[in-house]
Amino acid sequence: MSEPGTFAANAPAPDDLTDCWRTNGVYGTRTCPQLTDYVHCRNCPIHARAGLEPLNRPVPAGYAEHWTDHFEKEAWSRRSRPSSAVPFRIAGEWLALPTKCFLEIAEWRPIHSIPHARQIVLGLANVRGELLICISLGHLLGLADVPPRNLLRAKHAPLLVLSWAGRRVGFPADEVQSPSRFSSEQVRPAPPALAKANPAFSESMLQWRQRTLILLDPDRLFLALNRNLT
């Protein structure tokens, strides 16, 4: 960098690629000195650049047209950025929460009940070595009529872990879908009766794959939760 003006002329020439991972790498003699640093060829920058090499080929026929069609559809308003939400099902009802309040979607694990706990508290579960309070969201929202203890036995039910306003909490769901994007046009106000029935509900409805979801507001939800727990 002593002569800043000359670097453009000294641009690196395209290196000669060798399949060193097959000769002296992990698929060969394992004698490459770099292996002590990288452990596996996957971590080596030579491997990474070899992985990019096949992208330097002509665009296949029909490829650009396909993606042009893809991005042309799904109209968003010019100024509204898409939001993301995770749809899930509880007590036969499809709900959604914004993706940003999710910490993790974990597999089912045993929930150890706490004696003399409130009804909506199912117990404690071990998630990555930390104890997590698990609640029955259905009971919090007044949707479920089954005893909360039954939820403890429902294996294969995913455990959804939320983190919002400094509080972490988990709840089992019957089913969960991958995060979906939606634009503000897809959000409609909910019937006023719904919000009145339970303050934890927001007044938003979301149109998602020919289905109408109730889009929960995390602020209201955690407010209701704190009220119930304390």
Partner 1 sequence: MLFLVFQIGRNRYALDSRRVVQVLPLLKLKCLPHAPKGVAGVFMYHGAPVPAVDLSELTLGEPAAELLSTRLIVLDYPGSGDQVHLLGLIAEKATEVIRREPRDFVDSGFNIKAAPYLGPVLVDSRGPIQWLREQHLLSQSIQQLLFGSPALLDSAAAAIQELPSG
Partner 2 sequence: MTISQRMNVALLSMIVLMLAAVGLAFWMQASRVGANLQQQRLIATNDRICYDTLLIMETLRALSGDPKNESERTRLEEADRNLRAVLREAQDRYSDYAELSASLKAISEFEAGTAPGSLGSLQARVLEVADSDPPNAAALFNSNHRDTARQREMLFRDLAQQVDHAGTAISLRGHNASVLGVAGILVILVVSLLIGRLQFTAVAAPLLRLASGIDQIRRGNFANRIALERRDEFGTIGEGLDRLADDLSELVGQIQRSGAQVNTSAVQLAGKIQDQQTSAREMASTVERMAAATKQIGVTARELAKTMNEVNRVDERTADLATGGTAAIARMEAAVKRVMEASASVGAKLTALSEKTASIDPLVANIAKVADQTNLLSLNAAIEAEKAGEYGLGFAVVAIEIRRLADQIGVAIYDIEKMVKEVQSSVAAGVTGMAKFAEELGRGGEEIGAVGSHLTQIIQREELLAPRLQAISENVGGQLTDAEDITAGLAHLGHAVERTAESWRQSHTVVDQLNAATLGLQSSVAKFKMNNTPVPPHYSSGSGTGI
Q: Which residues bind partner 1 (CB under 8 A)?
A: 1, 4-5, 7-8, 10-13, 45, 52, 54-60, 63-65, 67-69, 71-76, 78
Q: HEC string of 128-176?
A: CCEEEEEECHHHHHCCCCCCHHHHHHCCCCCEEEEEECCEEEEEECCEE
Q: Tokens at residue 138, please?
A: 């259905």
Residues 25-61 as b or e (16 or more Cβ within 10 Å = b): bbeeeeebebbeebeebeebebbeebeeeeeeeeeee
- Identify which range of 1-9, 15-23, 87-95, 211-219 contacts partner 2 by CB under 8 A: 15-23
Residue whose CB is less far from partner 1, 46 or 176? 46
Which one of partner 2, partner 1, none is in contact with 108 (Cβ closer than 5 to 8 A by kind)? Answer: none
167 touches partner 2 (CB under 8 A)? no
108 touches partner 2 (CB under 8 A)? no
Q: Tokens at residue 104, please?
A: 């993790």
Residue span 58-77 as binding mask against partner 2, x where in contact by CB under 8 A, dash where not? --x--x--------------
Q: Which of 64, 80, 100, 167 binds partner 2 (CB under 8 A)?
A: 100
